[in-house]
Amino acid sequence: MSTIALKVNGKDVSAEVEDRTLLVELLREELKLTGTHIGCDTSQCGACVVHVDGVAMKSCTMFAIQADGAEIRTIEGVAQQGALHPMQAAFAEHHGLQCGFCTPGMIMTAIDMVRRLGSDLDEATIRHELEGNICRCTGYQNIVKAIQAGARAMASQ
């Protein structure tokens, strides 16, 4: 067991973790941040994407201990002062979800996409960037639309 200190959604957190505890387990089981989902258990579906020091990361593919000293943002920390982030608002407006299970990971990936590639995203880029996020319900059409709109809204903020 090791003690780690990290910042999660702006709050200082310290936790006792086993060396093999995954970051997603820490978030969900210890910190009760259950908006980060586990879909495939094997780092493929992207339902567990969070931001580690601002970078999108599949939290089932990282040990909690590797997050020692890091700043983590989960889906619960994306809205600020009760107002949805423009990317969240765009997913809601464009019906970018059905069962909702992939949605938090999609939003975290999308925000990171804009950070890296800017807000003027063409459809092909978005589709390519989403290859690590599986949605089984929507056929992706509304997700792609939502990301395009959300990216533009982020630029005008």
Partner 1 sequence: MDLGDIVKGSPPPAVVHKPKPHDSAAKHMTGEAVYVDDIRTPAGTLHAAPGYAPIAAGRVTKLDLDAVRKAPGVVDVLTADDIPGANDASPKGIGDEPVITPERIMFYGQVLFVVLAETRDQARRAARLARAATAPGMPMIDVDDAVVADSTVLPDYTFERGTPEDEIASAPRQLGGEFRIGGQEHFYLEGQVALAVPGEDGDMYVYSSTQHPSEVQHVVAHVLGLDSNAVTVEVRRMGGGFGGKESQATQWAVIAALGVRKTGRPCKIRLDRDDDMMMTGKRHDFRVDYKVGFSREGGIRGVDVTFAARCGYSEDLSLGVVDRTMFHADSGYFYPTVRILARRMRTNTVSNTAFRGFGGPQGKLFAERMIDHIAYSVGRDPLDVRKANLYGGAGRDRTPYNMRVEDNILPEIVNELERTSDYRDRRRALAEFNASSPVLKKGIALTPVKFGISFTLMHLNQAGALVHVYRDGSISLNHGGTEMGQGLFVKVAQVVAEEFGQELDRVKITATATDKVPNTGPTAASAGTDLNAQAAMAACRAIKERLFDFIEQEWGVGRDSVQFREGKVIIGNRAMDFGELAELAYRNRVSLSSTGFYKTPKITWDREKATGQPFFYFAYGAACSEVTIDTMTGEMRVNRVDILHDVGKSLNPAIDIGQIEGGFVQGMGWLTTEELVWDSAGRLMTHAPSTYKIPTASDVPEDFRVALYESGGNRADTIYRSKAVGEPPLMLATSVFSAILDAIISLKPAVMPRLDAPATPEAIMRAIRATGAGDP
> If binding is defined by CB under 8 A, does position 134 make contact with partner 1?
yes
For residues 67 and 55, is the Cβ–Cβ distance under 8 A? no
Q: Is residue 157 within 8 Å of residue 80, measured between CB atoms?
A: no
- Which of the ranges 51-59, 64-72, 81-89, 111-119 carries the binding residues for partner 1, by CB under 8 A? 81-89
Question: Of 8-27, which residues contact partner 1 (CB under 8 A)?
Answer: 20
Closest contact distance (angstroms) between CB of 13 and partner 1 is: 17
Applying CB under 8 A, does 156 fall inside the site for partner 1?
Answer: no
Helix (H, G, I), strand (E, B) or coil at 148: helix
The CA-to-CA distance between both ends of the chain, in Å, stands at 43
CA-nearest of 116, 113, 100 to 148 is 113
Residue ranges in 98-127 that form contacts with partner 1 under rule CB under 8 A: 98-104, 107, 123-124, 126-127
Does 131 interact with partner 1 (rule: CB under 8 A)?
yes
Closest separation in Å from C-beta 56 to partner 1: 15
139 binds partner 1 (CB under 8 A): yes
In terms of Cα–Cα distance, which of 97, 5, 32 is closest to 110? 97
- Closer to partner 1 by Cβ: residue 55 or 99: 99
Cα–Cα distance between 148 and 107 in angstroms, integer?
A: 12
Q: Which stretch binds partner 1 (CB under 8 A): 51-59, 64-72, 87-95, 112-120?
A: 87-95
Q: Are 142 and 95 in contact (CB under 8 A)?
A: yes
The string of DSSP codes covering 64-89 is: GGGGTT-EEE-GGGTSBTTBPPHHHH
Using CB under 8 A, list all residues that contact partner 1. Answer: 20, 28, 32-42, 44-45, 47, 74-76, 78-79, 84, 88-89, 91-93, 95, 97-104, 107, 123-124, 126-128, 130-131, 133-144
